[in-house]
Structure 1
Amino acid sequence: METLPPVSLILTKLNASHRVFEHKTSIKSIEQAAAERGQVVSQVVRSILFRIGKDEFIMVLVAGPAQLSWSALRAHLGQSRMTMATKEEVLCVTGYPIGTVAPIGIASPIRLLADKNVFVHDEISFGSGKRNTAIMMKRKEFQKILGTVEIGTFSKEDS
């Protein structure tokens, strides 16, 4: 019997309605992931971790292939210096390896920001904590599970 991915186990304990999608092949691009899930690329939510100080991190959710606007993030945070977390930091802070990260079940409490375009579609998908496996769920359920999120205009297409 195959075990559920970590994020699915957490969502199940929270009685959150969701589906687990297992890809048949290794995912090489966000476009491939979306196509195999029967979604458009903007329904795929990426969870990106940034270091904003010594042992201080934030996570930013972005829809699809949109590029983050560093200037918009810096302005929102009131920070001039920030860097993307290393793969070691991502694993340590979130408990998930890069490519599987989700904003749910994070190992350390963390400030969560989301580009407004994350919440456009009725259904979204995101990392499950397991390679080549995604969580798919309704946007409203996702928002409820996330709790406090700072929503803003953080992608270059919007800035």
Structure 2
Amino acid sequence: MSESEPAAAAAEAGEQRAATALLASGIEHTLTRHGRVGSLEEAAAARGVTPADIVKTLVVRRAEDDYLFVLVPGDREISWPKLRAHLGVNRLSMPDAATARDVTGYERGTITPFGSLTAWPVVADTTLTGRTISIGAGAHGVAATAYADEVVRALAADVADVTDPR
């Protein structure tokens, strides 16, 4: 078995887990497979959306073994003061790549709440709603395009102003 075979098997398992969770959610969506890309703009072009419509799923740690997902539009970034105030905490951090993989089952760049090993709470930025978005689907170059309000509903996401423009 080559070094890349376990990675390929993990990616396939991640994609399958996300696809199964998306189907189970009942939301209407389209899966897109385009392979690895080098930038947000390349990903948007490959998916037929604008960079603002690409949704990054970020893993945030509140405390030991207490994480949440934050859904951030591609043209925005987390506002740590806003997110801390919204959650009523003084400290938040982002776990390293290995920890994020361990708690979600997905490697960075493929993370999605759909099919995560643990159903962590989800916070979606207010700018996501009312439009079609493209969210990662468990493997590099795989995404689900869906109506944001349905994604928010399916994930029971808490919608809040937690980002700023990049």
TM normalised by structure 2 equals 0.83
Q: Which runs of 4+ in 1 moved over 4 A?
A: none
Q: Give deviations 1:18-41, integer Å, cap 9, x for gaps.
A: 111111x42111111111111111
In the alignment, what sits opposite 2:147?
138
Counterpart residue identity of residue 10, structure 1: A
Aligned CA distance change for structure 1 residues 140 and 67 (closer, same or farther; 3 Å): closer
Give distance in 2, aligned partners of 1:96 and 1:126.
14
Does structure 2 retain, via aligned residues, the 8 Å contact 1:52–1:83?
yes
Give yes or no for the alignment of 1:18 onto 2:29: yes
**RMSD over equivalenced CA pairs, Å:** 2.1
Q: By percentage of residues, which structure has more helix?
A: 2
Does structure 2 retain, via aligned residues, the 8 Å contact 1:6–1:130?
no
Q: Secondary structure at the match of 2:78?
A: coil
In the alignment, what sits opposite 2:160?
152
Give distance in 2, aligned partners of 1:104 and 1:94.
10
Aligned CA distance change for structure 1 residues 38 and 78 (closer, same or farther; 3 Å): same
Q: Secondary structure at the match of 2:143?
A: strand
Aligned CA distance change for structure 1 residues 77 and 21 (closer, same or farther; 3 Å): same
Give yes or no for the alignment of 1:7 onto 2:18: yes
Give yes or no for the alignment of 1:85 onto 2:106: no
**How many aligned residue pairs are there?**
154
Q: Which runs of 5+ in 1 are unaligned?
A: none
Give distance in 2, aligned partners of 1:97 and 1:143.
22
C-alpha displacement of 1:156: 1.7
Give distance in 2, aligned partners of 1:128 and 1:109.
15
Q: Secondary structure at the match of 2:23?
A: helix
C-alpha displacement of 1:59: 1.1
TM normalised by structure 1 equals 0.87
C-alpha displacement of 1:130: 1.1
Give distance in 1, aligned partners of 2:69 and 2:76.
15
